[in-house]
């Protein structure tokens, strides 16, 4: 080869990388559908301002009043001669053991109008209204004398009215709940809701509510649709860290009466809602969501607060017949048939120090064992998962092994690192390569975990039930994250059988990783686009791919159709894939993007392939993901 041709060949190599791979369709075998799992945890933006359809902030008046005003956080007072205060009587409450209440969780908002004829009350700004759309409003109140409470949707100043409704309230010994619909006449992204009265009277607000009428069990219909689009086959709930703050029995109360739950060990779980969760979603709602999106439920108990009896009662509520105490309660709430929840986690991240509970494996094994015994006595077929700072040989020997006769799954979590700098091309490239290459952390941890568990001589499975980029919930998603997620999913698809990882959960899809939510709508991120593509592998049989050391390929076989997903993680080089296959190309999609900066997304294109009699191939541009379906001969 002359020098000119050699230089041309080298130049071509620099922009195009070929990978020799072979898909062994004869090796196809089943794998766990729960590789496509996700966490649905009540943290940060996932529920409050996320999945929940609730539009009012701090609607149950948790926390302390504003300085010198007496008005609850997120609300403003109405009336120049009105007196505001917070505290008793409280409509909200907890069903829990003595000593678990904290004073700022249970409050009400009192408004005293000191001058008849003036308007007094409370309001909240910053609501996004859609003209002509129906909204459900609920009020929980007590009044001292007959009052005409005016509920009004207005512009930010209160000068323009979009809809109004008047409630005729009478003094009652108990709280009065009113529900009605309101339809604003126009759209407004900075609207206000006002609750006011002109009588010289005292009105106590116990809770207030506003949500779109088209909600699904109190959840936003558009978010539910996007969650369904990414195809979760298992949802882990309510945590995560939030499991250490959750009180399942509070879900037996009406949604407006459930007391707010204050972050216990760290405010990070609820930083966007003043450190409180308002318990908008209960067990029944979660099960309804799982059934709607096609996911198996996985529950996490509050190991440190729940007694074994309380955990067993939760299991009985989910799985007991109508002849049992808590199965009867479930039936009385409209759910006659048992939910048959099989998968349960015995706490979350116990032993790390940031969660309440035992720090030593022996102590955890003792506590978790009592919980397991009580739960299994109610429902013997449960699949239980234990927690701990894994991989850790001490915990494997003195916790996992000791519990192995009752608990077969061991929880593993990993959050990958990577710089985030974009001001120069060099910085962007370095950041991109660190993020997309950090999937190896999941691999190394899973293999180390497998070795640690195998050393016990017990039959134990890995539940890799939290994985993502570290702090991904505090920054915009981007295409680099999508490439990372695609390669990581390929690792789990290809290796979950050999490493015995039947459960894999991404943390977390709603509001933080795969679905971005605003008051006006929601959409899939680059991660979400990847998960929506990867779900095409569900219910297929995984095929071995030789020459796939970087997990750029995953292939599944179902009914004679081979589904292949491909990842080109290179920053600036094309990648050639060529498979020796006898088949007919059916369809394919390419997800590609030239933008790698924050808030970047993939654009979908038809995938171009080179199909011969004995081979099918394609060339992917840098930082792209693709799928193709092939009818085998």
CA-to-CA distance for 79 and 118, rounded, in angstroms? Answer: 7
Write out pLDDT tens, residues 358-388.
999 999 999 999 999 999 999 999 999 999 9
Residue 67 within a domain: no
User: What percentage of the chain has pLDDT greater than the value 70?
Assistant: 96
CATH code where residue 152 lies: 2.60.120.260
Last residue of a domain, one of 487, 521, 537: 537
Residue 442 within a domain: yes
Chain-centre distance for alpha carbon 357: 24
Residue 561, judged by CB atoms within 10 A of its CB (0-12, 13-18, 19+), counts as middle
User: What percentage of the chain has pLDDT greater than the value 90?
Assistant: 88
Mean pLDDT, to the nearest integer, of 155-184?
97
Query: Tokens in use for 489?
Result: 């999913």
Residue 489 within a domain: yes
Write out pLDDT tens, residues 523-533.
999 999 999 99
Mean pLDDT, to the nearest integer, of 12-40?
84
Residue 3 has pLDDT above 70, yes or no: no
What was the pLDDT predicted at 100? 60
Tell whether 387 and 501 lie within a shared domain.
Answer: yes
Q: Could you tell me if residue 461 is left (phi over 0), alpha (psi between -120 and 50 degrees) or otherwise beta?
A: beta
Print the domain residue range for 131: 76-212
Residues in the chain: 633
Residue 215 has pLDDT above 90, yes or no: yes
Residue 96 is inside which H or E element, if any? none
Tell whether 335 and 393 lie within a shared domain.
Answer: yes
Residue 292 within a domain: yes
Mean pLDDT, to the nearest integer, of 502-508?
97
What was the pLDDT predicted at 362? 98
For residues 219 and 54, the answer to whether their CB atoms sit within 8 Å is no
Residue 624 is inside which H or E element, if any? strand 624-632
Residue 27 is inside which H or E element, if any? strand 22-29
In eight-state DSSP terms, residue 47 is I
- Phi/psi at 269 (5° precision): -65, -25
CATH code where residue 236 lies: 3.20.20.80
Tell whether 319 and 406 lie within a shared domain.
Answer: yes
Tell whether 246 and 374 lie within a shared domain.
Answer: yes
Higher model confidence: residue 51 or residue 42?
Answer: 51
CA distances from 426 to 15, 483, 566, 588, 599 (A): 18, 19, 26, 33, 19
Query: Tokens in use for 597?
Result: 């900066």
| Structural domains counted in the chain | 3
For residues 208 and 56, the answer to whether their CB atoms sit within 8 Å is yes
Tell whether 116 and 206 lie within a shared domain.
Answer: yes
Task: Return the minimum-mean-pLDDT range out of 10-14, 105-109, 329-333.
Answer: 10-14
Write out pLDDT tens, residues 52-76.
999 999 999 999 998 889 999 999 9
Residue 609 bridge partners (DSSP): 618
Last residue of a domain, one of 537, 567, 596: 537
Residue 533 within a domain: yes
In which band, very low, low, confident or very high, does the pLDDT at 131 lie, cut at 50, 70 and 90? very high
Mean pLDDT, to the nearest integer, of 266-275?
83
What was the pLDDT predicted at 263? 85
For residues 76 and 123, the answer to whether their CB atoms sit within 8 Å is yes
In which band, very low, low, confident or very high, does the pLDDT at 17 lie, cut at 50, 70 and 90? low
Mean pLDDT, to the nearest integer, of 222-230?
98
Tell whether 155 and 266 lie within a shared domain.
Answer: no
CA-to-CA distance for 449 and 454, rounded, in angstroms? Answer: 8
In which band, very low, low, confident or very high, does the pLDDT at 417 lie, cut at 50, 70 and 90? confident
In which band, very low, low, confident or very high, does the pLDDT at 248 lie, cut at 50, 70 and 90? very high
Tell whether 602 and 529 lie within a shared domain.
Answer: no
Mean pLDDT, to the nearest integer, of 420-435?
96
Tell whether 195 and 239 lie within a shared domain.
Answer: no
What was the pLDDT predicted at 20? 74
**Overall pTM surpassing 0.85 (yes/no):** yes
Residue 26 is inside which H or E element, if any? strand 22-29
Query: Tokens in use for 257?
Result: 């009466």
What was the pLDDT predicted at 425? 95
Output Rg (C-alpha) for the chain, integer angstroms.
27
- Phi/psi at 432 (5° precision): -60, -45
What was the pLDDT predicted at 16? 64
What was the pLDDT predicted at 444? 97
Tell whether 549 and 513 lie within a shared domain.
Answer: no
Residue 188 within a domain: yes
What was the pLDDT predicted at 103? 73
Last residue of a domain, one of 158, 188, 212: 212
Residue 291 within a domain: yes
Query: Tokens in use for 295?
Result: 């996911």
Query: Tokens in use for 228?
Result: 């369904």
CATH code where residue 620 lies: 2.60.40.1180
Tell whether 198 and 301 lie within a shared domain.
Answer: no
What was the pLDDT predicted at 99? 57
Tell whether 144 and 24 lie within a shared domain.
Answer: no
What was the pLDDT predicted at 265? 64
Indicate the average pLDDT of the chain. Answer: 94
Q: Residue 513's closest CA among 567, 553, 550, 467? A: 467
What was the pLDDT predicted at 486? 98
Tell whether 417 and 521 lie within a shared domain.
Answer: yes
DSSP 111-130: EEE-STTS-EEEEEEEEEE-
Residue 305 within a domain: yes
Residue 7 has pLDDT above 60, yes or no: no
In which band, very low, low, confident or very high, does the pLDDT at 150 lie, cut at 50, 70 and 90? very high
């Amino acid at each position: 080869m002359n020098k000119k041709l050699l230089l041309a060949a080298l130049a071509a190599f620099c922009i195009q990388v070929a990978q020799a791979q072979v898909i062994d369709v004869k090796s196809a075998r089943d794998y766990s559908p729960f590789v496509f799992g996700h966490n649905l945890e009540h943290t940060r933006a996932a529920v409050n301002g996320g999945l929940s359809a609730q539009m009012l902030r701090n609607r149950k008046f948790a926390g302390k009043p504003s300085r010198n005003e007496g008005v609850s956080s997120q609300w403003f007072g109405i009336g120049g001669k009105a007196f505001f205060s917070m505290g008793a009587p409280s409509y909200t409450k907890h069903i829990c053991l003595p000593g678990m209440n904290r004073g700022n969780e249970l409050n009400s908002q009192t408004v005293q109008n000191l001058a008849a004829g003036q308007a007094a009350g409370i309001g909240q700004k910053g609501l996004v209204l859609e003209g002509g759309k129906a909204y459900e409003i609920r009020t929980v109140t007590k009044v001292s004398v007959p009052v005409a409470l005016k509920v009004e949707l207005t512009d930010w100043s209160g000068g323009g009215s979009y809809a109004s409704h008047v409630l005729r309230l009478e003094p009652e010994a108990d709280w009065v709940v009113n529900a009605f619909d309101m339809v604003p006449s126009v759209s407004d992204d900075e609207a206000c809701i006002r609750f006011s009265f002109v009588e010289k009277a005292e009105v106590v607000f116990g809770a207030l509510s506003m949500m779109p009428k088209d909600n699904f069990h109190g959840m936003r219909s558009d978010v539910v649709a996007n969650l369904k689009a990414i195809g979760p086959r298992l949802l882990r709930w309510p945590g995560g860290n939030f499991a250490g703050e959750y009180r399942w029995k509070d879900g037996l109360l009406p949604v407006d009466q459930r007391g707010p739950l204050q972050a216990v060990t760290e405010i990070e779980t609820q930083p966007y809602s003043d450190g409180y969760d308002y318990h908008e979603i209960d067990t029944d709602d979660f099960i309804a969501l799982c059934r709607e999106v096609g996911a198996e439920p996985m529950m996490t108990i509050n190991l440190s607060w729940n007694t074994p009896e309380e955990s067993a009662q939760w299991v009985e509520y989910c799985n007991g017949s109508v002849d049992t105490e808590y199965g009867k309660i479930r039936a009385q709430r409209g759910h006659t048939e048992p939910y048959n929840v099989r998968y349960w986690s015995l706490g979350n991240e116990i032993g790390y120090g940031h969660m309440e509970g035992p720090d030593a494996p022996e102590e955890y094994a003792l506590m978790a064992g009592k919980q397991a015994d009580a739960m299994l006595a109610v429902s013997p077929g449960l699949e239980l998962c234990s927690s701990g700072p894994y991989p850790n040989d001490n915990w494997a020997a003195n916790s996992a092994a000791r519990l192995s006769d009752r608990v077969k799954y061991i929880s593993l979590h990993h959050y990958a690192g990577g710089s985030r700098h974009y001001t120069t091309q060099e910085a962007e490239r370095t950041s991109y390569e660190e993020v997309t290459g950090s999937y190896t952390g999941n691999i190394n941890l899973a293999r180390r975990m497998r070795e640690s568990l195998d050393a016990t001589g017990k039959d134990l499975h890995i539940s890799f039930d939290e994985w993502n980029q570290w702090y991904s919930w505090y920054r915009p998603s981007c295409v680099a994250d999508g490439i990372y997620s695609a390669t990581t999913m390929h690792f789990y698809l290809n290796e979950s059988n050999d490493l015995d990882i039947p459960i894999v959960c991404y943390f977390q899809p709603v509001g933080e990783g795969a679905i971005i939510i605003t008051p006006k709508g929601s959409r899939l991120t680059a991660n979400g686009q990847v998960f929506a593509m990867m779900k095409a592998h569900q219910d297929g049989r995984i095929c071995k791919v030789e020459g796939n050391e970087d997990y750029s390929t995953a292939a599944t076989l179902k009914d004679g159709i081979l589904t292949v997903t491909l990842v080109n993680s290179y920053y600036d080089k094309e990648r050639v894939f060529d498979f020796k296959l006898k088949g007919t190309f059916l369809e394919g999609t390419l997800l590609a993007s030239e933008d790698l900066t924050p808030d970047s997304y993939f654009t979908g294109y038809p995938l171009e392939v080179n199909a011969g009699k004995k081979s099918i191939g394609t060339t992917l541009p840098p930082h792209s993901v693709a799928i193709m379906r092939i009818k085998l001969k």
